[in-house]
Amino acid sequence: MTRAFRLAFAVALLAALVAPPALAADPRLPTVVVLATGGTIAGAAASDVQAGYTSGQVGVEQLLAAVPQAKKLAVMRGEQVANIGSQDMNDEVWLKLARRVNEIAAMPDVDGIVITHGTDTIEETGYFLNLVVKSKKPVVLTAAMRPSTALSADGPLNFYNAVAVAANKDAAGRGVLVVVNDWIHGASSLTKASTTAVQTFLSPLRGLVGVVAYGEAEFYRGPVGRNTVDSEFSLDGVTALPRVDIVMAHENMDGAIIDAAVAAGAKGIVIAGVGNGNMTEAGLKALATQAKKGIVCVRSSRVVTGRVGRNVEIDDDKLALVASDDLNPQKSRVLLRLALLKPRSLAEIQRLFVEY
């Protein structure tokens, strides 16, 4: 061994000894906590080309391990909040999830939160969190249309993009976000528009907050509607949410379902109306009768896009009804449940539908 070679070898050895181990967490990376709730993103099927599968089969640790590329974006830790198909989403999971998001967001070492969820009700959970999370830190929901075992599964890249957005400082203060199929939606705007297509989510009226491709995010604007730290809603002391039912309007509608909802304990009713929140004379009569008794009745629309304005074809002032503005029936229900946590006048509830 020549002297020069011995010197080079010694320098290389020293460098290897002082260098951090290759697998150690990079202290400069943001910290993202992943809360898993189930859904198709954690779903599994017996083969890679079959339509039938079961949601919520894969645990959070498997989910993290399946996308090792995301470890270059953030230091991650995972928690399993639930493992259900989101068609089974319920108040117990909502309250637990919202409390945990608030706790984690308050931790100084946490930069962002990713929530994995099913696509069926992600717009409702996202909007609920948008109203009750008290933090400007990025809270990003993501999902998948195809189970983890499918040919061309969309979950891994959606997850990667969601981690990238949650780790991105520019995502802060934009309300709760939903990242699916390269698009960044505001939780208040998105809606599921296809039962099976990967490009299922749209943000009609309010538009996209931004886009994200292979982790590179571009933000176009802030959220529309009051949210998170600017929201007047809080879950402090809340153990249950009031019942609000959605009734869909249709040809030959009568008032039977409206009356049945109230009999079942609904304190509020949201009509998924035809057109601009319309319904039959019989439906309207039943609704106005319940409104007079103090049930809060909101007119929304079963049409996928467009606002429902006050006093257009229906005299809301005279019948004591609320117009949903641009919230669809499922989001109107979420807002109304929170609104009914304390006594409010109809004028105040109408204000909420305009502001949120």
Could you list the residues that contact ligand ASP (CB under 6 A)?
39-40, 55, 85-87, 118-120, 143, 145
Residue whose CB is less far from ligand ASP, 196 or 239:
196
Residue whose CB is less far from ligand ASP, 111 or 154:
154
Q: What is the DSSP letter of 188?
A: T
Catalytic sites, residue numbers: 40
Q: 133: left (phi > 0), else alpha (psi -120 to 50), else beta?
A: beta
Q: What is the spatial distance between Cα 219 and Cα 123, in angstroms, rounded to a whole number?
A: 20
**Closest residue to ligand ASP, based on beta-carbon distance:** 118
- Token pair 């080079």 is found at 8
Amino acid, single-letter form, for residue 215: G
Whole-number minimum distance, CB 55 to ligand ASP, in Å?
Answer: 4
Whole-number minimum distance, CB 313 to ligand ASP, in Å?
Answer: 35
Residue 251's H or E segment, with its range, is none
Q: What is the spatial distance between Cα 180 and Cα 185, in angstroms, rounded to a whole number?
A: 8
Give me the phi and psi of 225, to 5 degrees please: 95, 145
CA torsion sign for 324, 330, 331, 335 is: positive
- Token pair 């009609």 is found at 204
Whole-number minimum distance, CB 53 to ligand ASP, in Å?
Answer: 9
Whole-number minimum distance, CB 136 to ligand ASP, in Å?
Answer: 28
Residue in 255, 119, 130, 142 with CA at minimum distance from that of residue 200: 119
Amino acid, single-letter form, for residue 205: L
DSSP SS3 for 130: helix
Amino acid, single-letter form, for residue 300: S
Whole-number minimum distance, CB 141 to ligand ASP, in Å?
Answer: 11
Whole-number minimum distance, CB 149 to ligand ASP, in Å?
Answer: 14
Exposed / middle / buried, residue 307 (Cβ in 10 Å: 0-12, 13-18, 19+): middle
Residue whose CB is less far from ligand ASP, 146 or 333:
146
134 within 8 A of 41, measured Cβ to Cβ:
no
Residue whose CB is less far from ligand ASP, 87 or 90:
87
Residue whose CB is less far from ligand ASP, 122 or 321:
122
Residue whose CB is less far from ligand ASP, 84 or 167:
84
